[in-house]
Structure 1
Amino acid sequence: MDNRGSSSGAGTAPSEWVPGGGRLEWVDVARGVGIIAVVVGHVWTQGPVRDAVYSFHMPLFFLLSGLLSRAQPPGAFTLRQLGSQMRPYAAFLALLIVADQIVEPLKGHRPIFDQWPQDMLPVLLGGSWLRGPYTIFWFVPCLMAGRILFNMLLARWRDPLDRRWAWVILPLLPIAYILGWITDASVLGLLSVPMALVLLWVGAAWQKVAWRRWMWWPLAALSLGGLSGLLPTLNMKAADYGAPLLSIGSAVATSLLLFRFSVRVGPFGGWLAGVGRASLVIMYLHVAVIHYFSPILGKPWLLTLAVALPMGAYHLMKRSAVGRRIFL
């Protein structure tokens, strides 16, 4: 969830998408919208609200990462990703495991992991083996692996509209669906990497597309198909992509429209941008807040706390040199 923009090459879309560098306020706004949708989907676990946000919320982050991508030396990029992403992953996972060992006994319950050292195996496997307050931990390793593989290809074929990309993207689509039909077992969330690669490519290719007003109509129609529940919803963690091509197409359409919205409100989206800047910490911690407080709080309060408490933790970590080094 890198916040940096990427270089724009000749023939790319307007600079509102990918300027020469620096922080883009609209990117943080888009992340803010996306992470609030993620929290909403974990507070309202059934019904039309849940189905609406599940129709797009995780693909949005993959598309945004692809849109901001630029080719980098594969070796250095891989090492940087492993260090910058897996260090916070391990730190937040260890923090929540320790917290669960304390909180659950205080409530008169057994911790989720209480058979040591046997429980080290599911902890190390991650992905579909992590549930309850850890359920979101599939996302970062999946995004990281997707970005590493995508960067290797992008370093070779720098133009995402190069025809040679078709030799990769077209086979990946059926592979993604077939894997999801065969199993939902996912080590470190890697089951979803084929679809993640497709979404990263779509985001990168969108850099090259100049916006036209007529695009509102087909994108809005496809988006409404998912938001309304007309199309089957998505569960990227389990590699369940709904109706082939249509559900993921609806997710892409909704995300692209939200990017347009974010560009428009970017100059005045201060609080949303603030949420977006804390999105990684919110991603890791919000499910734990929901898990521990859901027996005693109503859903609106859960939503508020699941955003506010991780944001508070983010600002505390940001102020501490040790906190920044370990968690951010």
Structure 2
Amino acid sequence: MGERSAAIDAVRVVGMVAVVAGHVWITPETRQWLYTWHLPLFFILTGYLWSGRRGIKGEAAVRARTLLVPYACWFAIIAAITWGFQLIQGSFNPRVAAGQVWGGPLQSEPFWAFWFPTALFVATILYVPVSRLALPWQWCVALALLIVTAYVPGTQLAFLPLAIGQGLGAFVFVVAGQTLRRAQARMSRDGVVGPAMLAGGVALVLLFPDSFVDVKGLHFGVPVVGILTAVLIGGGLIVTARAYLSRTPRPLSVTVVWLSMSSLVVMFVHVPIASALDALGDGSVAGFLITIVASWALGLALVALPAAWFLTGARGAAPRLNDTSSADSAAIRPERT
């Protein structure tokens, strides 16, 4: 059983907070400052943490357990509640419901965020054979997929079932994550490089305010600029976290790991919760805070129950404060990411 980094988990938590904020504040500013990196970050992390020890069958089994099973369970729960109320109120629309089952951009409220786990599954499984190639060839595959999915006129890959097209388009971020990991192995000053990357990403946002990335819509902004902005900000967060959060007090590290292990639940439930609060798109600080607290409270409660893995996707029990199995306070057992 391996270790997980609290620094990396902190990045996941930041990314998930940004995802929730992007659904409470639906404005041009959130598209500009949050959409460009908040979900690409998770694809970057997949490539950054890639071990390559599993074949396609093994990777598919692991990712199905951690992504697809929770997806199916939460979809069934939320669909039963939502469609049930709609049937009672006489507002149920079979065509809309069919689109929600189909996935991708057709997943309307309360399933706005449901495209992400299936897209990540697609990108991950695809990376198993591609990861065997030399890095330049990996980039050739990634860029070819990006061009076909996002820039060739007339393609309808955004509307493939279960966000397959989104997974193919976002595959470029997985390769970028692996590139970052290899480059970081040769970095001598992460504490300088990470903030410099963040500054570069912010500069590109200011210079190209309309070049935001929206993976769900397979919109990647100005060619090169949108991808580079996402990689600089997402990668900058990772490098900075590894530089400055590599050793933190164990109570803080354990807290961060718990929050990270709950983040998939937050992904699934924050839109229904915000919708129930009438906080979607209203820009309310109170709505944002209540949505965050309620979503994470549910996630933490479920993570505390290992038997609820089918809802959390968490592998293994969450760490405890009195577990001294790891000498490094920021390297928390029990899970290899």
How far off its partner does 1:129 sit? 2.0
Change (3 A) 1:94 1:322: same
RMSD (CA atoms): 2.8
* CA distance in 1: counterparts of 2:39 and 2:18, whole angstroms: 9
How far off its partner does 1:320 sit? 3.4
* CA distance in 2: counterparts of 1:217 and 1:198, whole angstroms: 22
How far off its partner does 1:114 sit? 4.8
| Cα deviation 1:5-35 (Å, max 9, x = unaligned) | xxxxxxxxxxxxxxxx411101110000000
Change (3 A) 1:110 1:56: farther
Contact 2:198 2:237 in 1 (8 A): no
| Cα deviation 1:92-115 (Å, max 9, x = unaligned) | 011111222455678xx555x454
Determine which of 81, 93, 99 is the counterpart of 1:99.
Answer: 81
3-state DSSP of counterpart to 1:243: coil
* CA distance in 1: counterparts of 2:217 and 2:127, whole angstroms: 21
Determine which of 282, 285, 297 is the counterpart of 2:266.
Answer: 282
* CA distance in 2: counterparts of 1:180 and 1:293, whole angstroms: 39
* CA distance in 1: counterparts of 2:83 and 2:225, whole angstroms: 43
| Cα deviation 1:161-215 (Å, max 9, x = unaligned) | 3x43344234233223235863442421111223322111110121111335574
Match of 1:206 in 2: 180
Change (3 A) 1:143 1:227: farther
Match of 1:176 in 2: 149
3-state DSSP of counterpart to 1:132: coil
* CA distance in 2: counterparts of 1:298 and 1:231, whole angstroms: 21
Match of 1:34 in 2: 15
Matches of residues 147-296 of structure 1 in structure 2 within 5 Å?
147-154=124-131, 156-157=132-133, 161=135, 163-178=136-151, 182-183=155-156, 184-209=158-183, 210-211=186-187, 213=189, 215=193, 216-217=195-196, 220-226=199-205, 230-263=209-242, 264-265=244-245, 267=248, 270=253, 272-294=256-278
Determine which of 86, 94, 117 is the counterpart of 1:140.
Answer: 117
Q: Structure 1 counterpart of 2:17, which letter?
A: I
Contact 1:31 1:273 in 2 (8 A): no
3-state DSSP of counterpart to 1:258: helix
* CA distance in 2: counterparts of 1:80 and 1:234, whole angstroms: 29
Match of 1:299 in 2: 284
Match of 2:334 in 1: none
Match of 1:13 in 2: none
Change (3 A) 1:279 1:181: farther
Q: Does 1:319 align with 2:295?
A: no
Contact 2:74 2:311 in 1 (8 A): no
| Cα deviation 1:102-147 (Å, max 9, x = unaligned) | 55678xx555x454xx766434312222111101111000000110
TM-score (norm 2): 0.79
Identity %: 22
How far off its partner does 1:255 sit? 0.8
How far off its partner does 1:67 sit? 0.3
Matches of residues 41-52 of structure 1 in structure 2 within 5 Å?
41-52=22-33
* CA distance in 1: counterparts of 2:153 and 2:38, whole angstroms: 18
* CA distance in 1: counterparts of 2:27 and 2:307, whole angstroms: 39
Which blocks of at least 5 consecutive residues in structure 2 are unaligned? 314-337
Change (3 A) 1:295 1:230: closer
Q: Structure 2 counterpart of 1:240, which letter?
A: H
Q: Structure 2 counterpart of 1:306, which letter?
A: T
* CA distance in 2: counterparts of 1:228 and 1:306, whole angstroms: 33
Q: Does 1:82 align with 2:64?
A: yes
Contact 1:231 1:247 in 2 (8 A): no
Q: Structure 2 counterpart of 1:294, which letter?
A: D
Change (3 A) 1:322 1:255: same
* CA distance in 2: counterparts of 1:324 and 1:89, whole angstroms: 12
* CA distance in 1: counterparts of 2:154 and 2:229, whole angstroms: 20
| Cα deviation 1:247-280 (Å, max 9, x = unaligned) | 1110110111111332213526555544322110
* CA distance in 1: counterparts of 2:93 and 2:226, whole angstroms: 39
